[in-house]
Amino acid sequence: MGFNSFTFILLFLPALLAGWFILNRSNLNTVADAFLVLMSLYFYYSFGVSFVIILLVSIAVNYFLSFLITRAKDNTTKFIKVFGVLFNLGLLFYFKYLGFFVDNINAIAKSGIQIKEILMPIGISFFTFGQISFIVDRANGEAEHYNFLEYAMYTVFFPKLIQGPIAFHKEMIDQFRDKTRRQFNSEVFVKGVSSFIIGLSKKVLLADTLSSVVNYGFKYTFYLDTITVIMVMLAYAFQIYLDFSGYCDMANGVSLMLGFELPDNFNSPYKAATAKELWQRWHMTLSRFFIKYVYIPLGGSRKGKARTIINVLIVFILSGLWHGAGWTYICWGLMQGLLVVFNDIGIVGIKSEERKSRFLFRDKPLFMVPRSVGNAVTFFLFVVSLVFFRSQDMAYAFGMFRRLFFFTYPGFLFKTSENLKIAENYVFRQLFSQLGMNGAVTGVLVATFIIFLLICAFIMTRKNTKEIVNEAVYSKKRLIGLAILFVLSFISLSNVSTFIYFQF
């Protein structure tokens, strides 16, 4: 039961909102909290009962460790912190990385170790990192020992549970304690509905439509020509952008409907002019987690320039591993780290930002380029890096690169374009077939594919959803537009796929 499902929209969400506001209006705040926790657990239960058990065990252990910290002395507190971090990382390692680790041991040692297939709980990376942040902050004296219901609500709050953002305990629990947020606010509620509808349309109408083309292209990598590779790579860049930003919009929308605000997690990253800026805009809560709990403890930029570069690369390699257990993800993370290091060295700078830029080896960059050039180069390099991110293994990734950089043209673009399953394609194909103009079908399908990509590019250069929602004046015309957008998305729900970040 994802956000993009009939069950969620028609049954779960209305029941949740009705119960939440009725209980709070009756001043039954504790009961309302328990209701929200149970509904969040039911939401997670829809993905698998075993997942709920694992989540509850994780919550119980971390909360017990928090209780022990209240009675522990300094040395014991350090031990509890280490144990807590290792417990959470161990849980993550077992479900997400054990198979990858064993496969590499077998490859290196020529052994034949066999393990049963382990089903990874959805969202384990997100709720595990959230609890690591809590345990570390507790041990460092930066977090109180919340009551169990507050802690459970923070951990299982369903809008952020399975795909983030990685919210810190204080920024959510402070909101849960604010009674004014429990009162129905029509203005905030309408913003939430608007954000949800925009996110749903991004996912259903755009990202899912592109997914069939992307899946086809990366499945038949070794048959593609250079032009088709470019089109498939662009399609994936737009798909993952719209998929993740669509989820963030929906999560923010549902949270606003309940009266709460999630931390910003996605801020038009394709508008970035450098790789460093891109990671200040994409998955922002993951970046701040790594900065606070990995980069700074490693020494940050305080231990010399060489150590700073190493720390940056460590963070990005870990970020790659966080996204998936595979060498393709590690290479993707390393490539992003190297691009950020290149930005930090100070060879190239952005003209509009020379005053606020800081570099490791120079006061001023050697070359200055306009922001538009930086934006184009940053986007191109990110799209190239996504070949690692999406390919099923390294052989497929290098196969895609060979076809990208060594020009071939066997004419595979037509077959790839056929997978863009939108009504217009079907109508045009039938029309030209009836007129005996089958040769024109090829051009129409390819043109439709290109136009669809241009539409996606146009959407991503406009204001983002948060800006639109906050600045909107809800006139009758705008409400009708949102209603039409919702209807179009709703009738397309039968064709939806899961969110890309579910696998992380």
Residue 68: pLDDT band (50, 70, 90) is very high
Whether the pLDDT of residue 471 is over 90: the answer is no
Q: What local confidence, expressed as pLDDT, does residue 434 receive? A: 63
- Residue 425: pLDDT above 80? no
Alpha-carbon distances of 397 from 48, 125, 333, 379, rounded to whole Å: 32, 25, 14, 19
pLDDT tens digits, residue range 180-208?
999 999 999 999 999 999 999 999 989 98
Q: Which two tokens stand for residue 127?
A: 């709720």
Q: Encoding tokens for residue 137?
A: 């902050």
| Residue type for position 20 | W
Please, are residues 317 and 298 in contact by the beta-carbon 8 Å criterion?
no
Higher pLDDT, 491 or 37: 37
Within 13 Å and on the Cβ side, how many CA atoms surround 236? Answer: 23
What pLDDT was estimated at residue 472? Answer: 73
The per-residue pLDDT for range 299-354, each reduced to its tens digit, is 988 888 889 999 999 999 999 999 988 999 999 999 999 999 998 888 888 887 65
Q: What angle do CA 136, 51, 69 make, to 5 degrees?
A: 25
Contact 118, 99 (CB under 8 A): yes
Indicate the average pLDDT of the chain.
89
CA 396 to chain centre: 23
Residue 392 structure tokens: 């099923």
Q: Please, which pLDDT band fits residue 357 given cuts at 50, 70 and 90?
A: low
Percent of the chain surpassing pLDDT 70: 92
Residue 473: pLDDT band (50, 70, 90) is confident
* Structure token digits, residue 478: 């705008």
Confidence tier at 119 by pLDDT (50, 70, 90): confident
What pLDDT does 64 receive? 96
162 contacts 47 by C-beta, under 8 angstroms: yes
Taking residue 480's Cβ as centre, other Cβ atoms within 10 Å add up to 10
What is the band of 83 on the pLDDT scale with cuts at 50, 70, 90? very high
Question: What pLDDT does residue 117 have?
Answer: 82
pLDDT tens-place string over residues 374-417: 999 999 999 999 999 999 999 999 999 998 888 887 778 888 88
What is the predicted pLDDT for the residue at 301?
A: 84
- Residue 423: pLDDT band by 50, 70, 90 thresholds? low
pTM given for the model: 0.90
Residue 494 has pLDDT above 80, yes or no: no
Q: Are 329 and 388 in contact (CB under 8 A)?
A: yes
Helices (H) and strands (E) in the chain, counts: 24, 2
Give 363 or 249, the one with higher predicted confidence.
249
- pLDDT of 238 reads 93
- The predicted pLDDT at position 364 comes to 80
CA dihedral over 85, 90, 96, 102, signed as positive or negative = positive
Catalytic residues: 323
